[in-house]
Amino acid sequence: MKILFADKYPSKQLAQLQSNGHEISFQPDLQADDIAGAIAGYEVLVVRSTKVEKPTLDAADQLKIVIRAGAGTNTIDKQSATEKGIPVCNVPGKNAIAVAELAMGLLLAIDRRIPDNVREIKDGLWNKKTFSNAKGLFGQSIGIVGAGAIGMAVAERARAFGLEVIMIEKPGRSPALLQKMQSLEIRTVDSLEQLVRNSDIVTVHVPAAPGTKNLVDEEFLGWMRDGAILLNTSRGDVVDEQALLKALDSKGLRAGLDVYKNEPGASSGEFESELASHPNVYGTHHIGASTDQAQAAVAEGVIEIINAYAEGSIINRVNQ
């Protein structure tokens, strides 16, 4: 098959696909607006963060499948793909460790004000008195919204830091998941409100979907304790950014964010965000899954999807 990679992808797995007889075009610098002019003749399109919009799908003359090398697919126009009969597939769970590591990194950075420490000491300032003021993580409570692979990976790491982990009680969970939750001594509550009100830290790990859009809204933020910490390494649409801006000021909340609503459509570009610029926010560049370990695991997942499709089956399809 002819496969277009419009994002970064490990060379080892590219070579593996070529050795399997596929024709590979590796164009990681393609922007979202460029793919439409490059897609003709390709049967498979693989992307990471680059958006796949309707003009791209309209320009595709041979496209049979779109693969998101990662879990979230909100950057792909799934409705247009469905109308054209093009499956959209993802690689869930493979980047859970990397995202969990970043969530914990943001949490530590906020608690100890690490970026501010680094900036001032590089500027030749010694300010031990100011930066000696921190709560520490041990003994605090962290509410995890979402008990998927990433949420559970965060729970494991949070427990190692001595945090009490809180999740929402939900019926129908697998015995394996329930056993893991029990082994981690995770406390469950009956509602999202209870989780938020009982947590010093709230971290969100849910997919982008109609039911999760603006999940973190004015009401949610109103439940949070004054001075609490919010982490979002899932999707920007999950947070009502204007509501969060108000809460940062009115409640002294602090936030660690890896995702935003108005992210550029490609891996580089100009970015203006009132939220990211707020002094109570530590932000990163949507890099949650960007470790060598995670990308190798995701790349293997992409190969599984391509091999399955070549044999006549579709796995991890997210559109109908």
Would you call 263 a catalytic residue per the annotation?
yes
pLDDT tens over the chain, length 320 residues: 999 999 989 999 999 999 999 999 999 999 899 999 999 999 999 998 899 999 999 999 999 999 999 888 988 999 999 999 999 999 998 999 999 999 999 999 999 999 999 999 999 999 999 999 999 999 999 999 999 999 999 999 999 999 999 999 999 999 999 999 999 999 999 999 999 999 999 999 998 889 999 999 999 999 999 999 999 999 999 999 999 999 999 999 999 999 999 888 767 788 999 999 999 999 999 999 889 999 999 999 999 999 999 999 999 999 98
The model's pTM is 0.85
**Rounded-to-integer distance, Cα 12 and Cα 307, Å:** 16
For the residues of 244-307, what is the DSSP string, one character each?
A: HHHHHHHS--EEEES--TT--SSSS-----TTTTSTTEEE--S-TT-SHHHHHHHHHHHHHHHH
User: What b/e readout covers 19-37, taking b as 16+ CB neighbours within 10 angstroms?
Assistant: eeebebebeeebebeebbe
* CB atoms inside a 10 Å sphere around CB 297: 18
Catalytic residue selected from 120, 164, 263, 304: 263
Write out the H or E segment, with its range, that includes residue 149.
helix 149-160
Of the residues 43, 235, 241, 254, which is catalytic?
235
- 88 φ, ψ (degrees, to nearest 5): -115, 125
Q: Are 141 and 161 in contact (CB under 8 A)?
A: no
Active-site residue flag, 286: yes
Tally of residues, the chain = 320
Contact 71, 93 (CB under 8 A): yes
List the domains of the chain with CATH numbers: 2-92+292-310 (3.40.50.720), 96-283 (3.40.50.720)
Residue with tokens 């692979």: 149
Segment (H or E) for 141: strand 141-145
